[in-house]
Structure 1
Amino acid sequence: MNIALIAHDKRKDTLVNFIKNNEQFFSEQTLFSTGTTGLRVMENTNLQITRFQSGPLGGDQEVGALVAKGQMDAIFFFRDPLTSQPHEPDVNALLRLCDVYHIPVATNTESANAILYYLKNHKK
């Protein structure tokens, strides 16, 4: 499965910990990420990730392009709902594409656990 990993700055540690706790599953997938998030995950795990630009520099849109092409199976996007993001239109566009193409998106640990359970039990 193709899975994207994205996290706002204040949620990067949470995503890294989630990925570390589920590293075996993620090691069996093809992973993509925005720049800094991917680097942080790779520094803290043994995972290899195709990294795009940082989110504000177009990384969210690069992930969105894969969604629109039917090349993404799930996205783990740990968002910070309490901090204004300068690239909020890009974030909204990515989430809209996920809705259009029926791609599951986890925005916090609880929804990530639910999607992870689904992915483990409903492999494509």
Structure 2
Amino acid sequence: MRLGLAANQLHHAHADAALFRWLRASEAGIRELGLGLHAVGRTYDAILRSGHLEGYAPLRRYPYGREGGLMKLVAEVVGLGDERTLDGAIYLIDPVDPSSIFPEAVALKRQCVIHGKPFISTVATARDWIELERIHAGLRPDPGANEFHALETQTVALIAHDAMKPQMLAYAAEHFDVLSRFAHRVGTGTTGQRLNELAWSRGWPKDQPWVERFQSGPMGGDAQIADLVLERRCQRAIFFEDPHVARQHEADIQLLERAVTTRTDEAVCMTSPKVAARWADAVRRRAQA
């Protein structure tokens, strides 16, 4: 498995920056998995200077961003043959760095979503994903990842745009047991109502909402949930976006994404139904290990 890797400058500027916090927590798992990391220039250089992943052959250097490194990752997420196809991307985003909204940065996420591949933009998501893949590889659970699996203490946001609502309902139906473990579930207007109707049909008490409903997306629901993330009251977002349709409330969507990257060590975000399903399966397997 191979992932593109990039980090905005803030995230590798000092010894305790986000990139290095992730590597300290996950280097053993990266090595166990033999994970290929195709790192854009400055990110690669920072890893070498730090001493992390020393002698690790699957770490490869790509050009600097200004020389097209991030653009090459986008093309390889789409796929350029067996030797030049990435399985997803880790892009640790500084939400106030202008480069995070450059076309190649936006395209990297969009192509990951379109092709059902993981787009990982926070330290928490990167740590969670390494554990997910370790579990699927048959490895013993890492106690350092227990905090991400304490679902009974967490809140999850379940959000889907119009074209993705059927997929969210199908996902919730298939993984109702895992999602019901969360202490609290929140969602935006219509999606939340449909999820409640699904839960009631599955025997959830009809006088209790399974999902706490906020406003619809166009009326500010994304912004309301962003505030929960910023206040550390929402730890995970399962956010099925429609990458093909322009949305009038795009700024609200970006606000939620910026909130997630602001809380990079605490907030996990999954934007692909395929990745979310793989995570739910790993949750079950880990509980049985």
**Counterpart residue number, 2:268:** 104
**Cα distance change, pair 54–72 in 1 and its aligned pair in 2 (3 A):** same
**Residue 189 of structure 2 is aligned to residue 38 of structure 1:** no
**Conservation of the 8 A alpha-carbon contact between 1:104 and 1:115:** no
What secondary structure, in the 3-state scheme, does the structure 2 residue paired with 1:45 have? helix
Work out the CA distance in 2 between the residues paired with 1:14 and 1:108: 10
TM-score, length of structure 2 as denominator length: 0.40
Residue identity opposite 1:16 in structure 2: L
Q: After superposition, what is the alpha-carbon deviation per residue over 1:34-87, rounded to whole angstroms, capped at 9, x for unaligned?
A: 010001111122351110000110100000000000111100110000011110
TM-score, length of structure 1 as denominator length: 0.90
**Which runs of 5 or more structure 1 residues have no equivalent in the other structure?**
none
With a CA cutoff of 8 Å and minimum separation of 6, indicate the structure with the bigger relative contact order. 1
**Cα distance change, pair 96–60 in 1 and its aligned pair in 2 (3 A):** same
**Conservation of the 8 A alpha-carbon contact between 1:7 and 1:79:** yes
The CA deviation at 1:100 is 1.5
The CA deviation at 1:15 is 0.6
**Conservation of the 8 A alpha-carbon contact between 2:178 and 2:283:** no
The CA deviation at 1:116 is 3.3
Work out the CA distance in 2 between the residues paired with 1:86 and 1:119: 35
**Residue 244 of structure 2 is aligned to residue 82 of structure 1:** yes
**Residue 178 of structure 2 is aligned to residue 14 of structure 1:** no
Work out the CA distance in 2 between the residues paired with 1:16 and 1:53: 18
**Which runs of 5 or more structure 2 residues have no equivalent in the other structure?**
1-153, 205-209
Work out the CA distance in 1 between the residues paired with 2:170 and 2:251: 27
What secondary structure, in the 3-state scheme, does the structure 2 residue paired with 1:28 have? coil
Residue identity opposite 1:74 in structure 2: R
RMSD of aligned residue pairs (Cα, Å): 1.7
